[in-house]
């Protein structure tokens, strides 16, 4: 019960409810609301059945701005709390902790009300069937919209007087959704022409929404959906390989321009590094200021790909910027990587209310006072104005929340600005870096946004990938490249250490060696929630990158183990594809095969790519098994690939990768603890090619040799026949044919970068 507190640790709080014993930062934020909150679980369900009242389910996450707003307006309001406590059993769910529960009711709200988001507000019967729902509700009727108190009264009235109709409607909706979302394949084969057609259709649909003025796809609000860039880069590569270089260049330029605009916009934190969630306007200027780990990992990988293609250090600099931000602010003492930073913070010490973006915005006077002689220079570069600069679009600040405040944005290129000041580019960049560092030091003394230090396996998997890939791709930066604050400019191999430590944390804290199962998240111990499909799929993808970019064989072995567990728990062996949950928790009433690639890729898209990659690492029946499962999965979503490819960009990439009859294999043979081996690994990964597999073997290591003897005998034979004690040997193989052995990394890099004739 949300009873009055007296004494103890909660003396300063008027109320304490059942959420006070939870680990989730989001649930703890609501532990002292007057609402008698329950966590999701049997106690709440039993209470609703005993009292025969509906459940009010509120789903959000700790860094959600509108979740905070609804808490202040409604859940801290005693009048609203009394209505909830008298008429309902109220349940709070952290959508990051229980994405399975969120998926059920978000799907319902999106299907019935053509929109969704957080906070998610849904009313349920005691047996958990949805009755009605929405997102944010203001406390009182406003602008023709019902207020939360009105909604509560209407649901109460409907429950008392029209209960049968209400319950039947909810049951029918769930039955219909269950049938629609558990789709099965009519065949386990994919039409031969479908992969290329899907790639073309997705690229065409994205191109139609391309913004030639500000980059990116779509209009305000503008989201950095990395899977879109991944699709376009992959499609450009395929066009180039088929001799359509002009079309390829056009597609590539769309991505490159968008990445430049994002990096120069306010969605990018110029002072501290990393990217905010999205831009409220079309010009990437004024962001919604929260920072999510899943964005950082995926965005970094796209900039790494752009660097691999262009060799322009602008893109390597942005990659480092994000990774250095994560290393500084988002990594725990044991290598675990945290989830998010809030959009809101107090404007000053002791302020009782938080404000969006307070930590990140600047007045002109602050810039003048902090930067002194370089203030005018900096203000020109970042479009700083006395009245505030959130005026580039009518969408940027429609309610004048940032009046007098400035969100840093680069309006002109560095080279143009340096030229205007008759200054060498290097000197110009040096001064900008010094200015950013001074602002950073001042900013560190401001009240900081809330840090969600929950560790989520899936998001760590995405980020393990980016750290591992950066460790080798960035070795191809030109010698003598200089970096400026907030980029540290470290040896790229330091990024690999971060990736390994994060993977080790998951293995030691969130993995059961006996059952081979994962838990979903960690905060003060593992969460109650089991691992979901995304946890397995994203982590397997990260582990494959960890291995291919130089990690020990143990990471590949673990990836194979996890794939076996994923197949056991989630695979629909008859109908194809993967469910998002195991189906073991009966309180989760909808089991979904997710295909939509949104802010995060879908577990099925990532799984399809993982299966294709695994099939090229092993041989024989296991390789065939992986390919068959990949094809069956793709066949499940054949209709989507044919008609609405833009909704599944990464699945289109997976189909394209599957359609390559034989992936290119680069096999490196030699002692691994040498600088030469690192150089060869960097050469193997220097050019962009998602259809390439890198295998590295030390034939003097008995464990390694035994693994390859058992899993891919041809690799073991190749390693034994080409081993030389004093050098590394590289072999490039495709279509069951290998080119002559290579002993020079430059020659390997040149061969892999060759364009098809």
- Residue spans of the domains in the chain: they are 18-182, 354-444, 666-753
Q: Which of 267, 260, 271 is nearest to 288 (CA)?
A: 267
Give the orientation angle of helix 620-636 with respect to helix 649-659, to 10 degrees.
Answer: 140
* Helix or strand holding residue 41 (H, E): none
Which pLDDT does position 744 carry in this prediction?
97
Which pLDDT does position 104 carry in this prediction?
94
How many Å apart are CA 664 and CA 659, to the nearest integer? 13
Helices (DSSP H) in 520-648: which residue ranges?
Answer: 533-548, 553-570, 603-617, 620-636, 638-643
The Cβ of residue 205 has, within 10 Å, a number of other Cβ atoms equal to 15
Burial class (CB in 10 A: 0-12, 13-18, 19+), 213: exposed
**Residues 384/367, Cβ–Cβ less than 8 Å:** yes
The token pair at 364 is 């002109």
Q: Which fold has domain 18-182?
A: Glutaredoxin (3.40.30)
**Residues 556/543, Cβ–Cβ less than 8 Å:** yes
How many CA atoms lie within 13 Å of 567's alpha carbon, on the beta-carbon side?
A: 19
What's the pTM? 0.95
Burial class (CB in 10 A: 0-12, 13-18, 19+), 756: exposed
pLDDT along the chain (757 residues), means of 10: 37 83 96 98 98 98 93 96 98 97 94 89 96 93 87 96 92 87 86 96 98 96 96 98 96 98 98 97 97 98 98 98 98 98 92 93 98 95 97 94 97 92 95 98 97 98 98 96 97 98 98 98 96 98 98 98 98 96 95 94 98 97 98 97 97 98 94 94 98 97 96 96 95 92 97 85
**Residues 649/231, Cβ–Cβ less than 8 Å:** yes
**Residues 346/354, Cβ–Cβ less than 8 Å:** yes
Burial class (CB in 10 A: 0-12, 13-18, 19+), 549: buried
Q: Which of 66, 75, 71 is nearest to 116 (CA)?
A: 66
Helices (DSSP H) in 265-352: which residue ranges?
Answer: 293-310, 313-329
**Residues 134/121, Cβ–Cβ less than 8 Å:** yes
Q: Which of 702, 747, 739 is nearest to 722 (CA)?
A: 739
Which pLDDT does position 8 carry in this prediction?
35
CA dihedral 479, 484, 485, 489 (to 10 degrees): 0
Q: Which residues pair with 668 in a beta bridge?
A: 696, 730
- Which own/partner contact pairs does 216-220 have at CB distance under 8 Å and 24+ positions apart? 216/258, 216/261, 216/262, 216/284, 217/258, 219/282, 220/279, 220/280, 220/281, 220/282, 220/393, 220/395
Which pLDDT does position 677 carry in this prediction?
96
Which pLDDT does position 757 carry in this prediction?
63
Which pLDDT does position 344 carry in this prediction?
94
Which pLDDT does position 181 carry in this prediction?
78
């Amino acid at each position: 019960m949300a009873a009055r507190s007296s004494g103890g640790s909660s003396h300063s709080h008027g109320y304490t409810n059942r959420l006070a014993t939870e680990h989730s930062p989001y649930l703890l934020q609501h532990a002292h609301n007057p609402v008698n909150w329950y966590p999701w679980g049997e106690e709440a369900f039993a209470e609703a059945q005993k009292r025969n009242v509906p459940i009010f389910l509120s789903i959000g996450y700790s860094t959600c701005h509108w979740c905070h707003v609804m808490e202040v307006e409604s859940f801290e309001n005693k009048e609203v709390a009394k209505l909830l406590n008298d008429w309902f059993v109220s349940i709070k769910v952290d959508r990051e902790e229980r994405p399975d529960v969120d998926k059920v009711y978000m799907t319902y709200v999106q299907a019935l009300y053509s929109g969704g988001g957080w906070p998610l507000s849904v009313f349920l019967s005691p047996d958990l069937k949805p009755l009605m729902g929405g997102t944010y509700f203001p406390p009182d009727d406003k602008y023709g919209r019902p207020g939360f108190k009105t909604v509560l009264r209407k649901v109460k009235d409907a429950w008392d007087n029209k209960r049968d109709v209400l319950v039947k409607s909810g049951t029918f909706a769930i039955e219909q959704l269950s049938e629609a979302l558990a789709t099965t394949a009519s065949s386990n084969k994919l039409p031969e022409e479908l992969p290329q057609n899907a790639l073309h259709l997705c690229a065409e649909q994205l191109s139609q929404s391309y913004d030639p003025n500000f980059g990116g796809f779509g209009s305000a609000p503008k989201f950095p959906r990395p899977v879109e860039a991944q699709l376009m880069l992959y499609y450009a590569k395929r066009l180039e390989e088929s001799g359509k270089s002009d079309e390829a260049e056009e597609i590539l330029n769309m991505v490159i321009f968008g990445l430049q605009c994002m990096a120069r916009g306010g969605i990018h934190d110029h002072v501290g590094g990393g990217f905010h969630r999205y831009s409220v306007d079309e010009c990437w200027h004024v962001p919604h200021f929260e920072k999510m780990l899943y964005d950082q990992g995926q965005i970094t990988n796209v900039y790494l790909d752009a660097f691999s293609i262009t060799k322009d250090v602008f893109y390597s600099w942005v990659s480092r910027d994000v990774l250095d931000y994560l290393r500084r602010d988002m990594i725990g003492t044991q290598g675990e990587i945290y989830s998010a930073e809030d959009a809101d913070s107090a404007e000053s010490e002791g302020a009782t209310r938080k404000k969006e973006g307070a930590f990140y915005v600047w007045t002109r006077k602050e810039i003048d006072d902090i930067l002194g002689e370089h203030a005018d220079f900096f203000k020109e570069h970042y479009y700083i104005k006395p009245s505030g600069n959130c005026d580039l679009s009518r969408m940027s600040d429609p309610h004048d929340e940032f009046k007098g405040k400035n969100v840093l944005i680069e309006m002109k290129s560095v080279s143009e600005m340096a030229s205007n000041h008759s200054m060498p580019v290097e000197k110009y960049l040096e001064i900008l870096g010094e200015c950013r560092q001074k602002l950073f030091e001042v900013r560190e003394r401001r009240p900081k946004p809330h840090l969600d230090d929950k560790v989520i396996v899936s998001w760590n998997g995405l980020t393990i990938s980016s750290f591992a890939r950066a460790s080798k791709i960035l070795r191809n930066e030109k010698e003598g490249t200089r970096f400026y604050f907030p980029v540290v400019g470290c040896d790229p191999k330091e990024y690999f250490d971060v990736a390994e430590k994060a993977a080790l944390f998951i293995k030691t804290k969130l993995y059961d060696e006996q059952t081979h199962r994962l838990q979903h998240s960690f905060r003060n111990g593992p969460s109650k929630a089991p691992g979901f499909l995304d946890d397995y799929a994203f982590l397997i993808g990260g582990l494959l990158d960890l291995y291919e970019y130089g990690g020990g064989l143990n990471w590949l072995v673990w990836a194979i183990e996890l794939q076996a567990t994923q197949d056991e728990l989630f695979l629909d062996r008859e109908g194809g594809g993967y469910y998002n949950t195991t189906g073991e928790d009966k309180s989760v009433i909808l089991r979904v095969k997710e295909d939509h690639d949104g802010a995060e890729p879908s577990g099925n898209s990532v799984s399809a790519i993982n299966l294709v990659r695994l099939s090229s690492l092993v041989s024989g029946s296991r390789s065939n098994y992986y390919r068959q499962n990949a094809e069956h999965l793709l066949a499940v979503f054949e209709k989507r690939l044919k008609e609405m490819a833009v909704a599944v960009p990464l699945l289109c990439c997976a189909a394209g990768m599957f359609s390559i009859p034989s992936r290119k294999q680069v096999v490196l043979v030699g002692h691994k603890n040498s600088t030469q081996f690192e150089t060869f690994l960097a050469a193997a990964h220097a050019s962009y090619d998602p259809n390439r597999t890198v295998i590295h073997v030390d034939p003097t290591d008995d464990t390694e040799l035994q693994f390859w003897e058992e899993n891919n005998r041809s690799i073991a034979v190749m390693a034994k026949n080409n081993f030389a004690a004093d050098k590394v040997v590289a072999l490039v193989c495709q279509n069951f044919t290998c080119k002559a052995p290579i002993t020079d990394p430059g020659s390997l890099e040149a061969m892999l970068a060759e364009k098809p004739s």
